[in-house]
């Protein structure tokens, strides 16, 4: 509890004790009025103050005005204990709501704590703390154990483990060493790291995340907008209805020559006002979405607004990019075939022959070789564009490349029956086997597709620029229903538009991607989901939802969170409106008293708020 909530709790306790004590005293008349005004002012002075300010600002019709009129009216009718009790229970509901909002806000507050306050720069052998905004790209910064990484960069020196839980929701620390990319917001747990910055602070991951979260509340869902408009017209309507209930029936009775019973009808009107207070809807609906966004962020899923949460709940089609989304986007040597010399020796020849190339395939060969490259052993390097490389390694002629290179050299080769990029090798003019390099499927990718099907997703589709053979193999292994290969970025947009035209208006389509060429598709889909940790800035900017740890399994979790959130929203709408309509009818007929009104207002609000904060508890979804 914060200080404000503690003060309110103290006021509630004092007012409750005074109400009990004064109810037991035999005081009558003005003395009883004065005694009950003490707890009333203790518990309700701020409501009266807000109601008065609302009248002065010509913003009369809100819950403060309703509570002020209802309680003051009850006291003027002589129902002192009921008038004070209504204000007491209303404030109990407000305290409960404040605590619930604080709890849901805490998840986002924890995320806000990732903002670093400073960066360390080494000058003349000593560390100097500077504002992260002042650090330029390419600067070497020092991050000591226990400190936050302030800016995105590449480790140039040191090894450590990084706590990324605030960003990804993943509790396990990650190892980091020289050459690894690190993102801002992580906490350095063990060794000292030197990092060369690759972005300015304003463009770094931590700044982007905080900007997304801070702006999320401005994007309202249809349900929230409906409730706001509903309250705007509903509150004045019930005020005028209460006024009519207080005066029209007594006047009609007078015309008919009967007793007007002014006190009875005014009491009914005041009861009507308390019942009609729209707190349960106005508070619980935004709170449900806020709790959903907070619960999702705690799981490493950033939702840019409640409108996207609402759209995600209606998703029936999920379309994936392949490389970097369902696969790791990291090419590795996955097999060596048809070779007579040892695997290690063939790899050594390939890595040395490719040593001058910066191509990802060359880097994969050098990584698999795993030893320092001695360029002095390599001579006569000839790189043939679109074919491969010819060089001499230790005086031995080595050719490494594709089938075009083998045909060019007139060397018979063996086809590979596995899917991936094949590097054919020829040593001294004779075929020596081939090395298979593949993009590795992400560990949870297959499970992610299965979970989406369990969640009721009717169609899964994969779009990729890769070859048909590779695309079909990956889609088949993962269980994806449709696959379209050899696509340009513009082709992906066209395919998504075709799928959008095929589906019904209620069913929504989500696209999941990570690369800069996915940005147009992310924008075109009903809902765009970006892989945030390794994804491009353009993809994250274009997406509506960002998965901070690149785990495709989080897609189904995000959909389940969204559906749970929307289910709770509609439960609260139906429950609150249903109870209020029933109690309003009973109040107008004189059957419901002020205690029923308290339940219809405060009781329903507390139950709705309790229901709303269930969205925070999403770990077992």
Is residue 536 within 8 A of residue 248, CB to CB? The reply is: no
Is residue 143 within 8 A of residue 120, CB to CB? The reply is: yes
What is the number of other CB atoms lying within 10 angstroms of the CB of residue 376? 6
What is the number of other CB atoms lying within 10 angstroms of the CB of residue 212? 22
Q: Which of 46-50, 72-76, 298-302 reaches the highest mean pLDDT?
A: 46-50
Residues 328-376 pLDDT 10s: 877 789 899 999 899 999 999 999 999 988 776 888 899 899 999 999 9
**In this model, does residue 265 exceed pLDDT 60?**
yes
**In this model, does residue 575 exceed pLDDT 90?**
no
- Catalytic annotation present for 321: yes
**In this model, does residue 432 exceed pLDDT 90?**
yes
**Three-class SS of residue 124?**
coil
| Mean pLDDT for the stretch of residues 286-307 | 80
Single pTM value for the model: 0.66
Q: What is the token pair recorded at 220?
A: 């309202």
Distance, CA of 195 to CA of 211 (rounded, Å): 24
Is residue 321 within 8 A of residue 513, CB to CB? The reply is: yes
The dihedral region occupied by 186, where left means phi > 0, alpha psi between -120 and 50, and beta the remainder, is beta
pLDDT category, 518, cuts 50, 70, 90?
A: confident
Lowest mean pLDDT of 47-61, 218-232, 433-447, name the range: 218-232
Distance, CA of 346 to CA of 434 (rounded, Å): 9
Let me know if 374 is exposed, middle or buried by CB neighbors in 10 A (0-12, 13-18, 19+).
exposed
Residues 526-554 pLDDT 10s: 998 988 655 556 666 778 888 877 789 99
* Distance, first Cα to last Cα, the chain: 28
| Mean pLDDT for the stretch of residues 388-408 | 93
Distance, CA of 231 to CA of 546 (rounded, Å): 33
Higher pLDDT, 102 or 71: 71
Strand partners, 461: 319, 482
Q: What DSSP designation does 152 have? A: -
Strand partners, 512: 320, 529
Distance, CA of 403 to CA of 242 (rounded, Å): 86
Is residue 512 within 8 A of residue 555, CB to CB? The reply is: yes
Active-site residue among 152, 321, 466, 514?
Answer: 321
């Amino acid at each position: 509890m914060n200080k404000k909530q503690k003060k309110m709790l103290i006021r509630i306790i004092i007012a409750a004790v005074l109400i009990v004590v004064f109810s037991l005293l035999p005081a009558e008349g003005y003395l009883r009025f004065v005694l009950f005004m003490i707890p009333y002012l203790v518990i309700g002075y701020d409501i009266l103050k807000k109601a008065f300010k609302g009248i002065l600002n010509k913003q009369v019709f809100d819950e403060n005005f309703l509570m002020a009129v209802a309680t003051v009216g009850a006291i003027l009718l002589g129902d002192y204990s009921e008038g004070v009790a209504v204000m007491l229970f209303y404030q109990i509901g407000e305290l409960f709501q404040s605590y619930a909002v604080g709890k849901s806000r805490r998840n986002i507050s924890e995320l806000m704590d990732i903002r670093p306050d400073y960066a360390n720069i080494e000058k003349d052998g000593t560390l100097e703390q500077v504002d992260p905004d002042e650090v330029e790209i390419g600067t070497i910064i020092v991050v000591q154990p226990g400190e936050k990484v302030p800016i995105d960069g590449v480790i140039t020196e040191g090894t450590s483990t990084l706590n990324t839980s605030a960003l990804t929701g993943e509790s396990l620390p990650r190892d980091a060493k020289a050459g690894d990319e690190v993102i801002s917001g992580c906490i350095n747990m063990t060794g000292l790291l030197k990092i060369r910055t690759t972005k300015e602070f304003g463009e770094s991951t931590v700044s982007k995340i905080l900007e997304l979260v801070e702006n999320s509340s401005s994007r309202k869902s249809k349900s929230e907008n409906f409730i706001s408009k509903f309250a705007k017209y509903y509150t004045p309507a019930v005020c005028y209805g209460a006024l009519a209930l207080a005066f029209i029936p007594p006047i009609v009775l007078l015309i008919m020559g009967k007793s007007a019973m002014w006190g009875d009808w005014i009491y009914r009107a005041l009861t009507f006002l308390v019942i009609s207070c729209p707190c349960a809807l106005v508070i619980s609906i935004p709170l449900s979405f806020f709790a959903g966004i907070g619960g999702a962020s705690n799981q490493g899923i950033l939702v840019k607004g409640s409108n996207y949460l609402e759209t995600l709940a209606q998703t029936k089609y999920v379309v994936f990019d392949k490389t970097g989304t369902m696969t790791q986007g990291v090419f590795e040597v996955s097999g060596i075939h048809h070779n007579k010399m040892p695997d290690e020796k063939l790899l050594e020849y390939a890595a040395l022959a490719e040593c001058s190339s910066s191509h990802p395939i060359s880097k994969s060969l050098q990584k698999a070789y795993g030893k320092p490259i001695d360029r002095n052993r390599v001579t006569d390097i000839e790189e043939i564009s679109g074919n491969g490389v010819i060089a001499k390694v230790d005086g031995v002629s080595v050719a490494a490349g594709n089938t075009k290179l083998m045909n060019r050299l007139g060397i018979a080769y063996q086809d590979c029956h596995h899917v991936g990029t094949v590097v054919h090798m020829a040593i001294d003019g004779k075929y020596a086997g081939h090395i298979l390099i593949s993009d590795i499927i992400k560990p949870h990718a297959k499970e992610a597709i299965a979970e989406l099907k369990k969640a009721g997703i009717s169609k899964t589709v994969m779009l990729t620029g890769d070859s048909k053979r590779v695309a079909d193999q990956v889609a088949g292994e993962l269980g994806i229903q449709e696959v379209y290969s050899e696509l340009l970025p513009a082709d992906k947009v066209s395919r998504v538009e075709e799928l959008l035209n095929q589906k019904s208006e209620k069913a929504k389509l989500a696209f999941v991607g990570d690369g800069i060429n996915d940005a147009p598709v992310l924008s075109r889909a009903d809902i765009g989901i970006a892989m945030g940790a390794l994804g491009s800035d353009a993809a994250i900017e274009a997406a509506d939802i960002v998965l901070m740890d690149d785990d495709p399994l989080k897609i189904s979790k995000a959909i389940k969170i969204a559906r749970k959130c929307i289910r709770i929203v509609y439960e609260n709408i139906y429950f609150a409106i249903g109870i209020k309509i029933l109690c309003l009818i009973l109040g107008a007929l004189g059957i419901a008293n002020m205690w029923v009104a308290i339940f219809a207002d405060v009781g329903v609000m507390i139950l709705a708020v309790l229901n709303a904060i269930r969205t925070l508890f999403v770990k077992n979804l």
